[in-house]
Structure 1
Amino acid sequence: MRPVRSFVAVMAIGAVLAAGACGGGDDGSEKGGSGGKTVTVQAANGAVTVPANPKRIVSLSPTHTETLFAIGAGKQVVAADDYSNYPPNAPRTKLSGFKPNAEAVIAYKPDLVVVSDDLNGIVKALEKVKVPVLFEPAASKLDEVYDEINDLGQATGHTAEATKVVTGMRTTIEQTVAASSKAKGLTYYHELDNQLHSVTSSTFVGQVYGMFGLRNIADEADKASGGYPHLSREYVLKEDPDLIFLADTKCCGQNAAALAKRPGWSVLDAVKNKGVVELDDDIASRWGPRLPEFVKAIGDAVQRVQ
C-alpha cells in the first residue's frame, strides 16, 4: 500500500515528468545483452537498449510490478520495491522507489530496472554503470497507460501478452462506460486521505471519472495545488456531492460508517442515499492492469444512485 500523501507527491511529480514519456519502440538485433540480442524501447529517458529477454528485472514501482506480472514477466522479476504488494507473490524487498539507492539496486545484478520516478537521480546513477533503466512515469491519460504496458511487454519479451492485456483493459473499460448511463448533473468527491486532500479533473484519476460525465466538486477549489487540493470540511458540506469515493480505506481506515460520524456529514446526500463508495486505495492510485476494477466501481455507483 502506498501512503496517500506520498501518492499525491508522486502523481504531481509524474505529471511534470511525463512530458517526454512513453511511445512504443523498435525491435533490435544488435549483439550484446542476454543471448546476444537486444531491443530498443522509447521511454521518458529516451531510447533504451535492453537485453531481448532480461532475466533479472528490478521494479521500483508498484504499478509496473503489477504490469510485469500481468504480462507474464513475473518470473523475471528478482526484486520489487517496498510498496509492491500486488500480486502477493511479487518479490517485495526493502528497496525504495521514493528514496532509491543505486548501490542497493545494483546489488541485485539487474539487467533491467523499471522506475516510475527519477528521484535521487536514480536513472543517471544506473545508466552510469551501464544498467538499462526504463523510466515510465505516472500516466496522465489513458493512452499512456496502454503505451507503458506495451513498452514493458516489448522490453521483457512479452509483446503479445502485453497486447492482450491492453486489449482486454480497453474493451472492459469501454463496455463499463457504455453500460453506465451518463451521469448528467451528478457531482462527486474523491477523498485521498482523511485530511480531505482530493483530485481535480485535470489529474489522471479525475479524467477517469470524467468518462462518466461526473462533475468534480474539487475543480473550483484548486488553487495552484497541481490538481491535488486540500478541501475544507465546510466546502465539502456546502457542495453536498451526490457521490463520495473513499480512496483512504486502507491508509486511514475510512468507510461509510466512519464518514457518517464526521460532524455534519450524516446529512449529505451521498451518505443518506448510499452514495459512498469504499475503494481499494491501491487500485484507485495505480494506473496499471487493475484500472478496469476502478472504472467498474465508478460505473456501479453511477447506476446505483440514478
Structure 2
Amino acid sequence: MKKTSIVVVMLMLMLVANACSSESGPKTEEGEGKSGTRQYESENGPVEIPADPKRIVALTNAPNILAMDVDLVGVDEWTKMNPLFTDKLEGVATVSDEKLEEVLALKPDLIIAGSTMKNLDQLREIAPTVVYTWGKLDYLQQQLEIGKVLNKEKEAQAWIDDFTSRAKAAGEEIKAKNGANTSVSVFEADSQNFYVFGNNWARGTEILYQAMGLQMTDKVKQDAQGPGAYTLSLELLPEYAGDFIVLSRKQGNENSFMQSEVWKKIDAVKNNRVIEIDTEASTYSDPVTLENLLKIFHEQFLAN
C-alpha cells in the first residue's frame, strides 16, 4: 500500500473515532458548540477549536505561541533552528505541511498553518486548523489573534500595551541623544546578495520604524517600503545607508565585504554606528524576538 493511501486510511479511522466520541460526549448550552470547545473567528470564517488546546502543531507562528508560555508538540523547521527557542523546543517534533503522517502521529487537537501551505484540507481532517496569511495582520494584531486562539487575549493585550510603551520610550531616548531625524537602515547579507528592508519585514524593522519612530532614508522608502525587501549590490549600499546601520548576518558566514573600501567608506561604518544582529534569531516578529532585539537596540544605539 502506498504511503499516501495509508495516510488516508488513518485519517478516516481517526475521523470515525472522533465522531463517536463527539456523539456520546456532553454538550454545553445551546449555541456554544460541543463541550470543551469554542468558536474562533478566523480570516476564513468561524473555526471550532478546543477551549484549552493541549497538543498544538504550529506550522507557522510558533514563536507567537511559545511567547504565551504554551507548549507545542510539533513545530516548523525554521523555528526549530532559531537559537532563541532551543530550550523551549527540546523534544518537540519537527513537522511540515507536506508530511501529513508525521502531523497525524502527534495526535494534535489544534493546528496553526499558513494560507499558502499545501494539504490544508487534509490538515483540517486531522484537527481543527486555524490559517493565517503572512503579512495580513501587523505584528501586534498577530500576537493578539494568537492570544485569542489560546484563550489568552488579556495576556496578549497586556504585553502589547507594555511593549509599545517601552519601545516608544527607548526611541525617544535615542532621538534625544542622536537627533530627532536620526535614520537607520536595516541590511542583511548572505552568501550572494544584500537586502534592505522596509518597516514590517522582521529583523527588528517593526521596532525601529513603527514603535521607536526612527527614520528611513529616502532610497529605502522608495525601493523597500512597498515590497518590504529590496535586493541590492555591495556598490549600492552607501546610497541606502542611514545614520545607523543594523546588519543582519548569519553567524559563521563569510564577511569579506566588511573589508571592502565601499563598506569602510560608509559614514555609519566610519562612525562606529553598525549594530549586528543574528539573522536566525531575528526573522520573526513575536514577543520573544522583539524583546531580545529591543534590548540590543536600546543598549547599542545609546552606546554610540
Relative to 1, partners in 2 of residues 1:198 and 1:140: Cα closer, same or farther, differing over 3 Å?
Answer: farther
Q: Is 2:195 aligned against 1:193?
A: no
- Give a deviation string over 1:181-213, Cα, whole Å, max 9, x none: 265444433222331022134756645432433
Relative to 1, partners in 2 of residues 1:154 and 1:241: Cα closer, same or farther, differing over 3 Å?
Answer: closer
Q: TM-score, normalised by structure 1?
A: 0.72
Q: 1:1-306, aligned counterparts within 5 Å?
A: 30-32=32-34, 36-61=35-60, 64-74=61-71, 77-85=72-80, 86-90=85-89, 91-96=91-96, 100-115=98-113, 117-127=114-124, 129=125, 131-139=127-135, 144-181=138-175, 183-194=179-190, 195-201=193-199, 203=201, 206-211=205-210, 212-216=213-217, 217-222=219-224, 226-250=227-251, 252=253, 254=255, 259-290=257-288, 291-305=290-304
Q: Which runs of 5+ in 2 are unaligned?
A: 1-29
Cα RMSD over matched residues? 3.1
Work out the CA distance in 2 between the residues paired with 1:277 and 1:122.
Answer: 41
Q: Which runs of 5+ in 1 are unaligned?
A: 1-27
Work out the CA distance in 1 between the residues paired with 2:280 and 2:146.
Answer: 20
One-letter amino acid of the counterpart of residue 93, structure 1? A
- Give a deviation string over 1:7-27, Cα, whole Å, max 9, x none: xxxxxxxxxxxxxxxxxxxxx
Work out the CA distance in 2 between the residues paired with 1:223 and 1:54.
Answer: 37
Work out the CA distance in 2 between the residues paired with 1:100 and 1:251.
Answer: 30
Q: Give the match's secondary structure for 2:250.
A: coil
Q: Give the match's secondary structure for 2:77.
A: coil
Q: Give 2:15's aligned residue.
A: none
What is the aligned residue count?
Answer: 261
Q: Give the match's secondary structure for 2:94.
A: coil
Q: Give 2:25's aligned residue.
A: none
User: How far is the alpha carbon of 1:119 from its aligned partner?
Assistant: 3.3
Preserved contact between residue 29 and residue 38 of structure 1 (Cα < 8 Å): no
* Identity value in percent: 18
Q: TM-score, normalised by structure 2?
A: 0.72
User: How far is the alpha carbon of 1:289 from its aligned partner?
Assistant: 0.7
Structure with larger RCO (C-alpha < 8 A, sep 6+): 1
- Give a deviation string over 1:203-237, Cα, whole Å, max 9, x none: 5664543243322343334598x232111222113
Work out the CA distance in 2 between the residues paired with 1:283 and 1:199.
Answer: 16
Preserved contact between residue 67 and residue 286 of structure 2 (Cα < 8 Å): no
- Give a deviation string over 1:259-290, Cα, whole Å, max 9, x none: 53134211221211111111132443211113
Relative to 1, partners in 2 of residues 1:55 and 1:201: Cα closer, same or farther, differing over 3 Å?
Answer: closer
